[in-house]
């Protein structure tokens, strides 16, 4: 791809690029020399005209450009893009020993800003969330097919971030036919079914793989409560590992129907209670009935899509944690999560600590929890760390 324009930054705004942070905000741009279209490759220079990066232009976004490369000799053409995709796929190859559901590309962390690619068995699902990757859709799909050998690629570019890029929502088959049935996957010996067309995110919460395994390690003989269970990933992992029983709550009857089907697929005979309803109301009913649990999982949806929602989100996280701690048996374990990028690790820990104080219980933080290694965080782009969690023990 040939650069068609130059972005000249304001004095002093070059520092983040010199530190290899990939985002260039609109306020940092002094001049756009040329007439780049959305997604076009642009040369980024400082006020002194020194080269800083090759980037993809996005005129509608507050992130005016996203850097592809910080090396002047490394112009990101299709061959470069193909090599970058192949390297990202290769870094995850060892995970196939545990699962056939893997995040193959994680945006900025893999130096492919705005690109998300998940693999479910022989089905790839892509999300093109920024103007640069959207403009190079065909080259990206070709590179993915070459790197993986997969013949089916489905697009789920339906997140709100596309609107901020001035891009319409797009869904449909890019290679092969539209999936008409759920895709069967295996993770740590447990079978799941993934609806890549209508399911949450790209169909499954791949990012919680290691945390499902951690729960399974604790589950034998335990009573488990899984809140916001979706299709029951945590519940099935615990039951397959010998949990005595599991109670799972979600607002979606459709998701719970999938969970029940997966219970049968895994030949699970232990009691599994699938409850449709509001989690906050259900926790109140459990408390009123005197129910107690040995293991509780709180994995709510994104409460803070932006910093403007932080106050409301922290109140909700605290309310959930407080209710769960009061339902937890002594020596019980709580796994609590936030997938809100606007909520920092430190803030989340402070909110949960506040819940511990208000619950008037003693608790220890045993571990910090995070997304699996196929969701890495670039050391120069800490904004990529969205999933954080805590494993607590009630004393």
- Domain positions in the chain: 5-69, 78-175, 205-394
How many of the other CB atoms lie within 10 Å of CB of 206?
24
Tokens 């996280």, residue located: 317
117 — phi, psi (to 5°)? -135, 125
Mean pLDDT for back-to-back runs of 10 residues, the chain (395 residues): 87 97 98 96 97 97 97 95 98 98 98 98 97 97 98 92 92 96 97 96 97 98 98 98 98 97 97 98 98 98 86 95 98 97 94 98 98 97 96 98
Q: Which CATH number fits domain 5-69: 3.30.1490.20, 2.30.130.10, 3.40.640.10, 3.40.50.300?
A: 2.30.130.10
Question: How much is the pLDDT for 160?
Answer: 82
Question: How much is the pLDDT for 4?
Answer: 77
| Nearest-angstrom CA–CA distance, 178 and 55 | 33
Helices (H), the chain: 15-18, 78-91, 131-135, 137-148, 160-164, 209-218, 233-240, 253-265, 279-289, 310-327, 345-359
Residues 246, 339, 356, 390: which is the catalytic one? 339
| Nearest-angstrom CA–CA distance, 371 and 213 | 12
Distance from chain centroid for Cα 97: 21
The yes-or-no answer to whether 5-69 and 78-175 have a common fold is no
The pTM assigned to this predicted structure is 0.96
| Nearest-angstrom CA–CA distance, 183 and 206 | 14
Question: How much is the pLDDT for 67?
Answer: 98
Name the residue among 240, 290, 284 with its Cα closest to residue 262.
Answer: 240
Question: How much is the pLDDT for 1?
Answer: 66
Name the residue among 117, 139, 121, 125 with its Cα closest to residue 41.
Answer: 139
Token digits of residue 245: 């029983």
Catalytic annotation present for 339: yes
Task: Report yes or no: 252 and 279 within 8 Å, Cβ to Cβ.
Answer: no
Question: How much is the pLDDT for 307?
Answer: 85
The topology under which CATH files domain 78-175 is: Transcription Regulator spoIIAA (3.30.750)
What CATH superfamily classification does 205-394 receive? Vaccinia Virus protein VP39 (3.40.50.150)
């Amino acid at each position: 791809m040939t650069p068609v324009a130059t972005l000249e930054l304001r004095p002093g705004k070059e520092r983040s690029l010199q530190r290899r942070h990939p985002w260039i905000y609109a306020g940092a741009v002094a001049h756009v020399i040329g007439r780049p279209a959305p997604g076009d490759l642009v040369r980024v220079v400082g006020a002194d005209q020194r080269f800083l990066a090759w980037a993809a232009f996005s005129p509608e976004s507050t992130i005016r450009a996203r850097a592809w490369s910080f090396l002047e000799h490394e112009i990101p053409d299709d061959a470069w893009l193909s090599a970058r995709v192949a390297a990202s796929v290769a870094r995850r190859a060892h995970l196939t020993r545990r699962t056939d559901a893997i995040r193959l590309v994680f945006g900025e962390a893999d130096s492919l800003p705005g690109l998300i690619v998940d693999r479910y068995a022989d089905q790839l699902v892509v999300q093109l969330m920024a103007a640069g990757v959207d403009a190079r859709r065909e080259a990206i799909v070709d590179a993915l097919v070459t790197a993986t050998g997969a013949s089916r690629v489905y697009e789920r570019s339906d997140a709100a971030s596309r609107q901020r890029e001035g891009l319409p929502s797009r869904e449909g088959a890019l290679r092969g036919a539209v999936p008409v049935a759920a895709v069967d996957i295996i993770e740590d010996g447990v079978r799941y079914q993934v609806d890549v067309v209508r399911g949450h995110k790209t169909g499954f919460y791949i990012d919680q793989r290691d945390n499902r395994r951690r729960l399974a390690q604790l589950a034998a003989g335990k009573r488990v409560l899984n809140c916001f269970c979706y299709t029951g990933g945590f519940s099935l992992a615990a039951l397959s590992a010998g949990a005595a029983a599991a109670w799972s709550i979600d607002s979606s009857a459709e998701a719970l129907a999938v969970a029940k089907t997966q219970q049968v697929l895994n030949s699970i005979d232990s009691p599994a209670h699938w409850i449709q309803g509001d989690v906050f109301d259900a926790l109140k009913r459990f408390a009123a009935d005197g129910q107690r649990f040995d293991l509780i999982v709180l994995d709510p949806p994104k409460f803070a899509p932006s910093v403007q929602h932080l106050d409301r989100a922290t109140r909700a996280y605290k309310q959930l944690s407080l209710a769960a701690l009061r339902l937890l048996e002594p020596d019980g374990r709580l796994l609590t999560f936030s997938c809100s990028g606007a909520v920092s690790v430190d803030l989340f820990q402070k909110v949960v600590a506040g819940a511990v104080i208000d619950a008037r219980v003693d608790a220890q933080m045993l571990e910090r929890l995070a997304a699996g290694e196929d969701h890495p965080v670039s050391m120069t782009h800490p904004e990529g760390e969205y999933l954080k969690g805590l494993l607590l023990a009630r004393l």
